[in-house]
Amino acid sequence: MSVSEPEPIVYDTDSAIFNDDAAALAMLLRRPDRVDVLGVTVVAGNHTVPQGAEHMLHLLELVGAEDVPLHLGAHAPLVNTPERAARQEARWGPISFKGAFDEGPDVRPPHGGRFAAVRPRPADAASFIIDAIESRPDEVTLVAVGPMTNLAHVFRTRPDLAPRVRRLVFMGGAARVPGNVTPAAEFNLWFDPDAADEVLRAGVPEMVMFGLDITNHAPVRKTLFDRIVAADTPLTRLMQHHMGPRYARDPAATYYVWDCITAAWLIDPSVATVSETLPIAVETAFGPACGATTVTDPGDPRGRPVEVMLDLDVGAFYELYSELLTAP
């Protein structure tokens, strides 16, 4: 693959109405010169899989990308459960967001009140990802912006394929800053720490981490939000629907747009200004640190080399974010 060709990616997502999984996908789809979205795979995390799939199908329809296949993935983490989360809270204090663990089985229609005409494809997420890697060995980048359960199933089924992935780019973890759902853990890795642990140890040749270290740097404030929604396109109307009420209640509110920073870097790597390759391990033991990403000591066999993104050209990111989300 020459450097000028778009990077083939599988977008593995725990979905959102808009912020941030859906917004990040819209950004990627608007730069086909940089990324070729082979498919979207949905995993439980922010939402249950059936609910999350409806949000992402709606997004695909809204941006005219109905030809991008969407596949349903793992409905539950490898080990973590709502009951275990409740036990964790009872012993070690509140978990500020539990996503799909707090959602019931009902599936609500997306914004507009109508389910998208485009439906999920029959193959499950793991089978789709396996086919993608097999048909383009050494070329496919796995972009994981949710818990890594689907990817863990891929490498449990086909451990031989891990070295044939081009790279894993993931949003998750926190190397040198506190977590966002517990003092120790970031949501994606907290929801399924065992999957993240397995995937990081699977043998993918290159791994790039967009953890809270970098994603904390660029919260979206009302001024930027107002400028974007003023474009008044179908996409910005969805943004207004999802994010507007919070800004209306509290003009000082901020939204973190974690996955969008990951997407921005895939489009323009110059947005990340500082990174370090660090030995990273995931804490899987049931305890207050469950789901934490640890920078291990030299010689600790648990650590895997991960390029950890640490700082951002915030102005360049806001510009790209706003340009892509306001495009007609």
By CB under 6 A, name the binding residues for ligand RIB.
14, 16, 20-21, 45-46, 145-146, 171, 180, 186-188, 258-259
For ligand RIB, the closer CB: 63 or 212: 212
Based on the shown chain and the rule CB under 5 A, indicate whether residue 103 belongs to the binding site for Ca ion. no
> Cα–chain-centroid distance for residue 240?
21
Number of residues that bind Ca ion (CB under 5 A): 5
Based on the shown chain and the rule CB under 5 A, indicate whether residue 12 belongs to the binding site for Ca ion. no
Are 314 and 291 in contact, with CB atoms under 8 Å apart?
Answer: no
For Ca ion, the closer CB: 110 or 146: 146
| Least distance in angstroms from the C-beta of 13 to ligand RIB | 8
| Least distance in angstroms from the C-beta of 159 to Ca ion | 26
User: Which of 25, 43, 100, 145 is in the footprint of Ca ion by CB under 5 A?
Assistant: 145
**Which DSSP letter does residue 159 get?**
G
Based on the shown chain and the rule CB under 5 A, indicate whether residue 173 belongs to the binding site for Ca ion. no
* Closest to 161 measured CA to CA, from 141, 184, 133: 133
Based on the shown chain and the rule CB under 5 A, indicate whether residue 283 belongs to the binding site for Ca ion. no
CA distance 19 to 186: 17
Based on the shown chain and the rule CB under 5 A, indicate whether residue 52 belongs to the binding site for Ca ion. no
Tell me whether strands 141-144 and 167-171 are parallel, antiparallel or unpaired. parallel
Q: Which of residues 200-229 bind Ca ion (CB under 5 A)?
A: none
| Least distance in angstroms from the C-beta of 143 to ligand RIB | 11
Task: Please compute Rg for the chain using Cα positions.
Answer: 18
| Least distance in angstroms from the C-beta of 271 to ligand RIB | 17
| Least distance in angstroms from the C-beta of 300 to ligand RIB | 25
Instruction: State which amino acid sits at residue 209.
Output: M
For ligand RIB, the closer CB: 133 or 185: 185
Residue 81 makes CB contacts below 8 A (sequence gap 6+) with: 101
Instruction: State which amino acid sits at residue 298.
Output: P
For ligand RIB, the closer CB: 19 or 294: 19
Structure tokens at 78: 């490898």
**Adjacent-strand bridge partners of 7:** 35
Point out the residue whose Cβ comes nearest to ligand RIB: 187
Q: Which stretch binds Ca ion (CB under 5 A): 21-29, 103-111, 155-163, 209-217?
A: 21-29
CA distance 291 to 196: 9
Q: From the list ligand RIB, Ca ion, none, pick the one residue 321 interacts with, judged by a Cβ distance below 5 to 8 Å according to partner type.
A: none
CB environment 280-306: b (16+ within 10 A), e (fewer): bbbbbeeeebbbbbbeeeeeeeebbeb
| Residue numbers at the binding site for Ca ion (CB under 5 A) | 14, 21, 145-146, 259
